[in-house]
């Protein structure tokens, strides 16, 4: 276990001096309304495998941060260790930190409405059981998904039976576009996102003062059964009111904010506003580091402003699907305003500087939040950061290219690395100078240059160790949970080799919800281009659950048209969606009926490449 360097300790001292640690209101709020929690703090699946382990974080007890954790992140971590069942107001309850996200229970005439049933069926079921133990055995009468991210729907089968949903007994309410976006993320870049997600959430790290201490947004992600039941009611309009189990709910749709399909909503009879994940106790991600389409900071700010106008004068408590609530109208509106100003400020100031010719990396360094925004605890960069959000806003408007032609056609990493090392006088010379930079505490520079040495020659053990040590100090310094996890996972993999990704985001339920268009797109992105180009033209008809399509492989590209049948196709494939998914995932073609030339689909399948879920990141 490495210790904190002098430079790291000095940085932590500075944090303690600069930030308002004497303001402990968040601890009061995080503890307010506590009813009970589970003990031991472990949730298991049907086979007894642990899917959630609060007890692995018992080292959170000490108020003073260890030297190896940024004191501001430590504070957030300790807030996230307030877990269990809480009363928000009489009739509204939350189970917090039984997963990355919160699940909320709103009591109606006949039973209880569930908002955002966590990631895994097991954690969601444990949360519901804890709620029922203290609030009576109320049936679930409705489910609301606030948005299309997996930590807000994956546990749905832990709280409701799909048969009750299909039979119309339990409505599931979600914003327009929910299903498309909930599934889309797993179609195109799902494999890469899972691998990078393991870095982001520190899934491979030990939980300790030298390891994973939350992700800032929540402790970590659970590892149980990810489920999905499609919504039965889509909310399309702001101002729309639904009566769920006798409880009026007034919606505001907020597309293109934290998620492409998301909504806030007010429970007017409770004076309670649900801010989904648009408002939280951290600066959120304009672009998440595991990889995603870049979000729109301007619209995010716009919709928070609209929420104040729509609901401010009727809000007595503001709760969300992460972190703890804010009570009192003035304080609730203040949080909405601070976050509105935060995202809006980042957007506008980035563009101001972009239009003066500064590039993303420069703006990220220059842009400073005014103290009124920076010293608001809920605006701290525990999940997003000013640095990477500024680069995301830059990327949204002008993309990866900074306009300098020297950066237009650079050598790729390994080719560049061997040239850099050669020009810098060889690996030993680089390491000698890098060690001096390390001693000066310039860890950012150490990882920049030593990464070239590692990419030029991954067998250079000295280089790997030096880079790992610099990553470690960067991790210890980071206020941002994902930054810490990225740095420390990088150190781990440099020392012990690539560890791969322990969990995949693609669960059978999520894959099973793919539309035919998404399924065929999933095949198309696996076509091995040049091999396929040599294979010539393959035309196939598809009939999947009655839906028709024609695929044409030509020039190495698989094009698709829907609602057609091609008379000249080599074969017609008839399958159910689940049969097609089994064929693709398990190479089990028994669920597919083939009429015509059976060798044609076999030739297409043979041209598909497999994604690599364990690709290297810190090594070439
Ligand atoms: Zn979330």
At 59-92, the pLDDT tens digits run 998 999 999 999 999 999 999 999 999 999 999 9
Q: Is the pLDDT of residue 578 over 90?
A: no
For residue 279, report the distance from its CA to the centre of ligand 1, in Å.
Answer: 11
Q: How far apart are CA 507 and CA 487, in angstroms?
A: 28
For residue 254, report the distance from its CA to the centre of ligand 1, in Å.
Answer: 15
For residue 562, report the distance from its CA to the centre of ligand 1, in Å.
Answer: 34
For residue 322, report the distance from its CA to the centre of ligand 1, in Å.
Answer: 7
Give the Cα-Cα-Cα angle 168, 102, 322 (nearest 5 degrees).
125
Strand partners, 13: none
For residue 161, report the distance from its CA to the centre of ligand 1, in Å.
Answer: 23
DSSP sequence for 485-540: HHHHHHHHHHHH-----S--S--HHHHHT--HHHHHHHHHTTB-HHHHHHH--EEE
CA 391 vs CA 199, 347, 402, 446, 618: distances in Å: 20, 10, 11, 22, 21
Q: Please tell me whether residue 260 adopts helix, strand or coil conformation.
A: coil
pLDDT of residue 505: 57
pLDDT band, residue 584 (cuts 50/70/90): confident
For residue 220, report the distance from its CA to the centre of ligand 1, in Å.
Answer: 11
The predicted-structure confidence for 383-405, as pLDDT tens digits, reads as follows: 999 999 999 999 999 999 999 99
Q: What is the mean pLDDT of residues 110-130?
A: 98
Q: Is the pLDDT of residue 107 over 90?
A: yes
Q: What is the mean pLDDT of residues 466-470?
A: 98
For residue 149, report the distance from its CA to the centre of ligand 1, in Å.
Answer: 6
For residue 6, report the distance from its CA to the centre of ligand 1, in Å.
Answer: 36
Residue 250 CB neighbour total at 10 angstroms: 18
Q: How far apart are CA 273 and CA 250, in angstroms?
A: 9
| C-alpha 101 chain-centroid distance | 11
For residue 217, report the distance from its CA to the centre of ligand 1, in Å.
Answer: 8
pLDDT of residue 503: 65
For residue 100, report the distance from its CA to the centre of ligand 1, in Å.
Answer: 7
Q: What is the mean pLDDT of residues 484-507?
A: 88
pLDDT of residue 590: 81
Q: What's the whole-model pTM score?
A: 0.96
For residue 607, report the distance from its CA to the centre of ligand 1, in Å.
Answer: 37
Q: Please tell me whether residue 107 adopts helix, strand or coil conformation.
A: strand
The whole-chain average pLDDT of the chain stands at 96
Q: How far apart are CA 58 and CA 516, in angstroms?
A: 47
pLDDT of residue 448: 98
For residue 118, report the distance from its CA to the centre of ligand 1, in Å.
Answer: 9
pLDDT of residue 377: 98
pLDDT of residue 187: 78
pLDDT band, residue 504 (cuts 50/70/90): low
Tell me the two tokens of residue 101: 């996200």
Q: Is the pLDDT of residue 502 over 80?
A: no
40 preceded by a cis bond (ω within 30 of 0): yes
pLDDT of residue 392: 98
Q: Is the pLDDT of residue 9 over 80?
A: yes
Is there a contact between 108 and 142 (Cβ–Cβ < 8 Å)? Answer: yes
What letters, b where the CB count within 10 A reaches 16 and e where it falls short, cover 111-134?
Answer: bbbbbbbbbbbbbbbbbbebbbee
Contacts 24+ apart (CB under 8 A), 495-500: 495/464, 495/465, 495/468, 497/619, 498/614, 498/615, 498/616, 498/617, 498/619, 499/198, 499/204, 500/195, 500/198, 500/613, 500/614
For residue 147, report the distance from its CA to the centre of ligand 1, in Å.
Answer: 8
Q: Is the pLDDT of residue 2 over 70?
A: yes
Is there a contact between 346 and 390 (Cβ–Cβ < 8 Å)? Answer: yes
Q: What is the mean pLDDT of residues 608-612?
A: 92
pLDDT band, residue 514 (cuts 50/70/90): confident
pLDDT band, residue 135 (cuts 50/70/90): very high
pLDDT of residue 583: 81
Q: What is the mean pLDDT of residues 459-468?
A: 98
The predicted-structure confidence for 212-253, as pLDDT tens digits, reads as follows: 999 999 999 999 999 999 999 999 999 999 999 999 999 999
How many residues can be counted in the chain? 620
Q: What is the mean pLDDT of residues 560-585?
A: 92
pLDDT of residue 570: 97
Helices (H) and strands (E) in the chain, counts: 22, 21
For residue 185, report the distance from its CA to the centre of ligand 1, in Å.
Answer: 14
Nearest to 216 by CA among 102, 97, 335, 381: 381
């Amino acid at each position: 276990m490495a210790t904190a360097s002098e430079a790291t300790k000095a940085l932590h001292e500075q944090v303690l001096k600069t930030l308002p640690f004497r303001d402990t209101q968040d601890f009061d709020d995080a503890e307010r309304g506590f009813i009970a929690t589970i003990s031991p703090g472990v949730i298991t699946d049907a086979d007894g495998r642990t899917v959630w382990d609060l007890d692995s974080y018992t080292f959170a007890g000490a108020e003073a941060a260890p030297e190896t954790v940024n004191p501001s992140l430590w504070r957030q971590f300790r807030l996230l260790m307030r877990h269990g069942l809480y009363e928000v107001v009489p009739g509204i309850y939350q189970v917090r930190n039984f997963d990355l996200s919160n699940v909320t229970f709103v009591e109606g005439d006949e039973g209880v409405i569930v908002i955002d049933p966590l990631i895994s069926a097991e954690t969601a079921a444990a949360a519901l059981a804890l709620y029922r133990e203290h609030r009576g055995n109320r049936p679930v009468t409705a489910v609301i998904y606030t948005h299309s991210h997996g930590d807000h729907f994956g546990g749905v089968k832990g709280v409701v039976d799909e048969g009750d949903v299909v039979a119309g007994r339990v409505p599931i309410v979600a914003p327009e576009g929910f299903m498309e976006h909930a599934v889309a993320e797993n179609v195109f870049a799902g494999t890469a996102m899972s691998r990078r997600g393991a870095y982001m959430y520190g899934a491979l790290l030990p939980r300790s003062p030298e390891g994973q201490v939350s992700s800032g947004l929540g402790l970590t992600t659970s590892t149980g059964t990810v489920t999905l039941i499609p919504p039965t009611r889509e909310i399309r309009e702001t101002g729309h009111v639904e009566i769920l189990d006798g409880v009026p709910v007034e919606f505001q749709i907020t597309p293109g904010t934290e998620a492409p399909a998301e909504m806030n909503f007010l429970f007017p009879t409770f004076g309670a506003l649900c801010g989904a994940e648009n408002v939280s106790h951290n600066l959120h991600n304009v672009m998440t580091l595991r990889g995603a389409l870049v979000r729109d900071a301007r619209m995010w700010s716009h919709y928070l402003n609209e929420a104040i106008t729509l609901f401010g004068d009727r809000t007595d408590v503001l709760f969300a699907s992460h972190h703890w609530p804010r009570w009192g109208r003035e304080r609730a509106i203040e949080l909405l305003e601070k976050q509105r100003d935060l995202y809006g400020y980042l957007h506008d100031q980035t563009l101001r500087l972009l239009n003066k010719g500064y590039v993303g990396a420069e703006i990220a360094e220059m842009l400073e939040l005014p103290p009124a925004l920076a010293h608001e605890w809920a605006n701290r960069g525990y999940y997003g950061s000013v640095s990477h959000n500024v680069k995301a806003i830059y990327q949204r408007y002008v993309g990866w290219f900074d306009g300098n032609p020297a950066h237009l056609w650079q050598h790729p990493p390994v080719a560049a690395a061997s040239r850099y090392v050669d020009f810098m006088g060889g690996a030993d010379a680089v390491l000698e100078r890098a060690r001096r930079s390390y001693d000066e505490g310039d860890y950012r520079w150490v990882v920049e240059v030593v990464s070239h040495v590692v990419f030029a020659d991954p067998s250079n053990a000295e280089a790997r160790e030096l880079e790992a040590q610099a990553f470690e100090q960067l991790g210890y310094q980071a206020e941002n949970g994902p930054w810490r996890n990225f740095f420390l996972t990088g150190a781990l993999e440099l020392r012990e080799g690539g560890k791969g990704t322990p969990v995949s985001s693609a669960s059978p339920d999520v894959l099973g919800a793919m539309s035919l268009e998404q399924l065929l797109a999933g095949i198309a992105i696996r076509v091995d281009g040049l091999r396929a180009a040599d294979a010539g033209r393959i035309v196939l008809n598809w009939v999947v659950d009655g839906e028709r399509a024609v695929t044409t492989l030509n020039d190495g590209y698989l094009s698709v048209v829907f609602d057609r049948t091609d008379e000249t196709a080599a074969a017609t494939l008839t399958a159910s969606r689940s049969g097609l998914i089994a064929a693709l995932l398990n190479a089990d073609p028994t669920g597919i009926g083939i009429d015509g030339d059976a060798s044609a689909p076999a030739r297409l399948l043979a041209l598909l490449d497999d994604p690599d879920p364990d690709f290297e990141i810190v090594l070439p």
